[in-house]
């Protein structure tokens, strides 16, 4: 294409084939995704930690949408090398990566048969064509295990036959919990639940764990003509709650790999409705919510396997019985139902050494091509480089500028109108809900204007933290690299320094150098201090969590969480001085990112510091086994990462909106763990130190290059950076963790030095 060849693009082109299965999209990425290393699950971790911007670019707007799904072809995995599999795959969605996907497996099966490009599918020509059944079998290595796929073909076996269903044999599927009663606290309940305070559900595994709930149990009569806004609101409350519920976490411990031990989705089931395609023993309909309020348009192939296993466990299904599984889309069009039956019976041993009956389900459905794409990013394109969703883009609106043409509000009303114009929040409700929220909010703003703004009065602001009016960016780039965007000229921000200190610490340097910042200084060893903690444990983490919990409903726009002493061995400055570090800090970049680490040098923490799954017990703060246990208690239901890395040492910036992405109950749980864990202070503090970046939405490994970090976080864009982890003249690991007396005017050997001239002697 001549147009593409003439464009100045940023990075490699990514080539994709788009398909759908009962309306659920599958974007097959067959070329252009970076090479990944290690086992398939390690490749999945690497993709999440290092290349998630590419996933977002391909799944999110403007190239995708909040319902997009993807499949990244992985030509080489450990099972491919052993000869058990023909090719591997990683599954992606609007929030991250999944372990299994039935609808994408059906689409991918057709594509892998249709392609004869050995660069895409090196083992394509080794596939065997069965002339009697006119089909080809292939073995697909998915994160959950080996999936055996059968693809119908044309009589010559060269191409797939779209008129017949692709089928796959699931991994061993089982139901670890049947008729589990779960209490629903008041803050989680939705209107349709009425006065009930509990629900009954089943848990089943078909490559991922699902909570299967009868639609009537949730307070809805049927899935026929269901109100999707109402079911979405229900799912947004229920799914996060179930993911952290102790009984559910206990039940979904996968016997083979802890990275499979998380609740993926809720499936609302209506066994009384469903399109009947014929030649089946029964039908039912399901509505699947997963990821960030994503609705599966298809009947959800891996959940079909889970539902077969559940019916088998309940004695409702026998081998040879064939069932039709519908989605809302297949019911509407009278086409696209998945069919499934039990193909084999077995048993597995769970983590508690119990034998659980399992089945292999044969699941079938049809997939179709919709297009072929080559995706690029032009050099000048800032908006689409990493993709976005409208939920992520709903930022606080400066209503002072927005309503400049209106009389100014009465002071008592100002806090009301200086809020978010668009509602929705981190859960990302479906588009119809967003549109309703926008209309309702516009109506409310208009009503407030006519109620309160009719008379112009003197303008004043009510804030609980110091505020600062920004007149553009604080520092310009000297190297032509991208500089942080300035804050809008008249926007006023609330910002707070949160400091963990002891009685002996001198914190006057903060008042002398940063009068424009509000300061919340906690004195952990003084119970009479204005700000203190109930229990001095976990080092700075107890202070940070106490501040967030106590101020959750009244947080400032931006917060820097720091230690109390000006000179500290880990401060990212040649003289380990906190003053230039904070003076150079680029607040606009924090507002854009939501979370940033205040340390750029990789030494200690990056690229990887902890291996939770492989490090053995050691009596030191690097022990990954301790981290694994702590991680599972802090983040119940979340798969334990293979690697964790972030530059030390628990000093960072975060925005109010980023903190509020988690409910207050999460921070209460973190603090409760910190208080009750038998781990010593250094270990519990260490676990929290290497968890903050994940708490605030980053992957397990968060290690931007030093060059990028110094430029974007501190505005230092003209540095010489010989490698990824450090830049010349910035940070050198000191020989001791305690700086010598008289520092910075006395060096390590007692020699005089001038911090205003040159660098200290290493």
Structural contact between residues 203 and 210, judged by C-beta atoms closer than 8 angstroms: yes
Q: How many angstroms separate the CA atoms of 411 and 402, rounded?
A: 17
Q: What are phi and psi of 305, to 5 degrees?
A: -60, -40
Angle, CA 559 vertex, CA 554 and CA 560 arms, to 5°: 150
Both tokens assigned to 68:
């997009």
Structural contact between residues 58 and 64, judged by C-beta atoms closer than 8 angstroms: yes
Both tokens assigned to 578:
């906190």
- Judge if the upstream peptide bond of residue 649 is cis by omega within 30 degrees of 0: yes
Long-range pairs of 380-384 with CB within 8 A, sequence gap ≥ 24: 380/8, 381/10, 383/62, 384/57, 384/61, 384/62, 384/63
What end-to-end distance do the CA atoms of the chain give, in Å? 55
Pairing status of strand 174-183 against strand 338-349: unpaired
Rg (CA), the chain: 28
- Give the DSSP H or E segment for 655: strand 652-655
Q: How many angstroms separate the CA atoms of 101 and 298, rounded?
A: 11
SS (H, E, C) 202-218: EEEECCCEEEEEEHHHH
CA dihedral over 711, 716, 717, 719, signed as positive or negative: negative
**Helix-helix angle 624-634:664-676, to 10 degrees:** 140
Q: How many angstroms separate the CA atoms of 672 and 178, rounded?
A: 30
Alpha helices in 314-423 (DSSP H): 328-333, 390-393, 399-402, 414-417
Q: Which candidate, 172, 167, 142, places its Cα nearest to that of 309? A: 172
Q: How many angstroms separate the CA atoms of 250 and 248, rounded?
A: 5
Structural contact between residues 148 and 128, judged by C-beta atoms closer than 8 angstroms: no
List the catalytic residues. 101
């Amino acid at each position: 294409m001549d147009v593409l060849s003439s464009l100045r693009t940023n990075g490699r082109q990514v080539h994709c084939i788009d398909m759908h299965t009962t309306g659920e999209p599958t974007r097959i990425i067959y070329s252009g995704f970076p090479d990944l290393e290690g086992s398939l699950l390690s490749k999945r971790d690497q993709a999440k930690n290092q290349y998630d911007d590419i996933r977002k670019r391909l799944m999110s707007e403007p190239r995708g949408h909040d319902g997009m799904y993807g499949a990244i072809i992985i030509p080489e995995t450990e099972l491919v090398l052993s000869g058990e599999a023909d090719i591997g795959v990683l599954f992606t969605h609007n929030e991250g990566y999944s372990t299994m996907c039935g609808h994408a497996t059906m689409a991918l099966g057709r594509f892998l048969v249709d392609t004869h490009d050995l660069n895409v599918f090196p083992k394509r020509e080794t596939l065997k064509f069965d002339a009697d059944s006119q089909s080809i079998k292939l073995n697909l290595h998915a994160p959950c295990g080996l999936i055996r796929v059968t693809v119908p073909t044309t009589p010559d076996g060269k191409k797939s036959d779209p008129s017949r269903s692709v089928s796959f044999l699931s991994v061993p599927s089982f139901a670890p919990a049947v008729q589990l009663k779960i209490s629903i606290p008041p803050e989680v309940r939705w209107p349709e639940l009425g006065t009930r305070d509990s629900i009954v559900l089943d848990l089943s595994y078909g490559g991922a764990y699902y909570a299967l709930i009868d639609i009537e149990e949730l307070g809805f009569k049927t899935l026929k003509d269901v109100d999707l806004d109402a079911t979405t609101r229900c799912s947004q409350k229920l799914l996060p709650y179930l993911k952290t519920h102790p009984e559910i976490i206990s039940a979904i411990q996968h016997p083979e790999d802890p990275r499979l031990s998380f609740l993926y989705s809720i499936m609302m089931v209506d066994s009384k409705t469903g399109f009947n395609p014929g030649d089946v023993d029964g039908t039912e309909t399901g509505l699947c919510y997963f990821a960030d309020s994503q609705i599966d348009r298809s009947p959800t192939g891996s959940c079909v396997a889970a539902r077969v296993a559940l019916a088998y466990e309940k004695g409702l299904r026998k081998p040879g019985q064939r069932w039709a599984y519908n989605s809302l889309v297949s019911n509407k069009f009278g086409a696209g139902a998945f069919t499934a039956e039990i193909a084999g019976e077995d048993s597995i041993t769970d983590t508690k050494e119990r034998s659980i009956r399992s089945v292999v389900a044969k699941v079938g459905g049809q997939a179709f091509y919709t297009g072929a794409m080559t995706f690029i990013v032009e050099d000048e394109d800032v908006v689409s480089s990493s993709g976005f969703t409208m939920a992520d883009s709903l930022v606080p609106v400066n209503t002072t500028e927005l309503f400049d043409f209106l009389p100014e509000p009465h002071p008592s009303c100002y806090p009301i109108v200086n809020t978010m114009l668009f509602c929705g929040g981190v859960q990302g409700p479906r588009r119809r809900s967003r549109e309703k929220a926008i209309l309702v909010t516009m109506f409310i703003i208009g009503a407030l204007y006519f109620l309160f703004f009719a008379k112009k009065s003197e303008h004043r602001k009510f804030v609980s933290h110091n505020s600062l009016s920004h007149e553009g960016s604080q520092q310009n780039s000297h190297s032509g690299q991208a500089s942080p965007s300035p804050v809008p000229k008249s926007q006023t921000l609330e910002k707070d320094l949160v400091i963990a200190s002891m009685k002996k610490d001198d914190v006057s340097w903060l008042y002398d150098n940063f009068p424009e910042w509000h300061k919340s200084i906690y004195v952990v060893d003084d119970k009479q201090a204005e700000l203190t903690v109930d229990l001095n444990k976990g080092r700075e983490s107890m202070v940070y969590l106490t501040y967030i919990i106590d101020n959750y409903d009244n947080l400032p726009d931006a917060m820097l969480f720091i230690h109390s002493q000006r000179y500290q061995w880990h401060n990212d400055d040649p003289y380990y001085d906190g003053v230039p570090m904070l003076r150079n800090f680029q607040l606009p970049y924090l507002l854009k990112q939501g979370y940033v680490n205040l340390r750029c040098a990789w030494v200690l923490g990056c690229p990887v510091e902890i291996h939770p799954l492989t490090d053995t017990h050691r009596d030191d703060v690097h022990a990954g086994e301790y981290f694994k246990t702590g991680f599972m208690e802090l983040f119940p239901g979340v798969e334990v990462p293979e690697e964790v890395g972030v530059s030390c040492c628990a000093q960072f910036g975060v925005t109010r909106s980023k903190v509020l992405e988690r409910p207050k109950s999460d921070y209460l749980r973190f603090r409760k763990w910190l208080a009750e864990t038998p781990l010593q202070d250094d270990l519990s503090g260490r676990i929290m130190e290497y968890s903050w970046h994940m708490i605030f939405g980053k992957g397990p490994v968060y290690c931007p290059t030093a060059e990028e970090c110094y430029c974007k976080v501190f505005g230092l864009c003209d540095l010489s950076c010989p490698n990824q982890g450090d830049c010349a003249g910035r940070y050198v690991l000191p020989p001791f963790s305690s700086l010598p007396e008289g520092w910075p005017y006395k060096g390590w050997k007692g020699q005089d030095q001038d911090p205003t001239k040159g660098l200290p002697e290493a």
